[in-house]
Amino acid sequence: MNELDLRTHCRDRGLAEHELDADPMRQFHMWFDEWLGTDPLEPNAMALATADAQGVPSVRIVLLKGLANEGFSFFTNYDSEKGMDLAANPNAALCFYWMPFERQVRVTGKVARVPRKETEAYFRSRPRGSQIGAWASKQSAVLADRATLERDALDAEARFKGQEIPPPPQWGGYLLKPDAVEFWQGRSSRLHDRFRYTRKGRGWLVERLYP
Ligand SMILES: Cc1cc2nc3c(=O)[nH]c(=O)nc-3n(C[C@H](O)[C@H](O)[C@H](O)COP(=O)(O)O)c2cc1C
């Protein structure tokens, strides 16, 4: 087979203007709840795109950890490659793909670090192994070998033996506040429905886009 022909049957379930909430975060919640209803693995996985000071892009999966404060939050290492990108250029993009519904959501906006208290509260909720891992990992730096990582994890475990583990200083959350959110509903014959929200005054402008 030279060409991948993996098209699945399209249910052609449309998305109409009148179904859309005036607020994209509420619209996102509606779609996200439907997605959660399918009991997916890693339901909160999302692609996060950043670009460095030269505009060179980079994309990776992270987990969506909050939808409060009118934005999307995730946690990571501030010294990682993405952290460096975001320090130089706070513009970022997210992309969600929810296959059973043939839906995609794209978000662009600027990120800011979440208050330290929020990072501490989230970190406290993590399993101890993940907390140790956060201390052991110099995320995105070159690692000589696996043994070094395992030794670093043992060192972190010894350091915090019998104590509560705080988040490492270089680890924390970001909140991406959207400037634009696009909801894409797959339909047959590539005649998909697309609606883009962009900020207008204190509300949002909603426009239909060609697929
Ligand atoms: C399903 C999945 C979930 C992930 N969740 C996170 C996350 O929440 N935070 C994080 O820093 N990295 C997460 N990663 C790892 C990132 O994809 C990436 O490898 C890491 O953050 C380093 O990226 P960077 O070098 O671009 O900074 C996840 C990877 C996968 C596949």
pLDDT, one tens digit per residue, over 151-163 is: 999 999 999 999 9
* Residues contacting 155, CB < 8 A, separation 6+: 136
Task: State the DSSP string of 146-171.
Answer: HHHHHHHHHHHHHHTTTSPPPPPTTE
Model confidence at 129: pLDDT above 60: yes
> What is d(CA 109, CA 129) in angstroms, rounded to the nearest whole number?
32
Residue 154 beta carbon below 6 angstroms from any ligand 1 atom: no
Q: Which domains does the chain show, CATH number per domain?
A: 17-124+169-208 (2.30.110.10)
Among protein residues, the one whose CA lies closest to atom 14 of ligand 1: 62
> What is the average per-residue pLDDT within 52-58?
97
User: Quick one: which atom of ligand 1 is closest to the CA of 61?
Assistant: 17
> What is the average per-residue pLDDT within 68-82?
96
Residue 62 beta carbon below 6 angstroms from any ligand 1 atom: yes
Model confidence at 13: pLDDT above 60: yes
Question: Quick one: how many helices (H) and strands (E) in the chain?
Answer: 5, 8
- β-pair type (45-51, 72-77): unpaired
Contact 177, 70 (CB under 8 A): yes
Indicate the pTM of the whole model.
0.94
> Of 17, 130, 5, nearest to 122 (Cα)?
130
Reported as a single tens digit per residue, the pLDDT across 109-125 is 999 999 999 999 999 99
Report residue 178's pLDDT band, with 50, 70 and 90 as the boundaries.
Answer: very high
Among protein residues, the one whose CA lies closest to atom 3 of ligand 1: 62
Which active-site residues does the annotation give? 190
Contact 158, 140 (CB under 8 A): no
Tell me which residue has tokens 């975001």.
86
Query: What average pLDDT does the structure give for the chain?
Result: 95
Model confidence at 108: pLDDT above 90: yes
> What is d(CA 142, CA 17) in angstroms, rounded to the nearest whole number?
49
Contact 85, 52 (CB under 8 A): yes
Distance 81 CA to ligand 1 centre (A): 11
Residue 82 beta carbon below 6 angstroms from any ligand 1 atom: yes
What pLDDT shows up at residue 136? 97
Distance 134 CA to ligand 1 centre (A): 12
What pLDDT shows up at residue 6? 54
> What would the two tokens of residue 92 be?
């970022």
> What is the average per-residue pLDDT within 81-94?
98
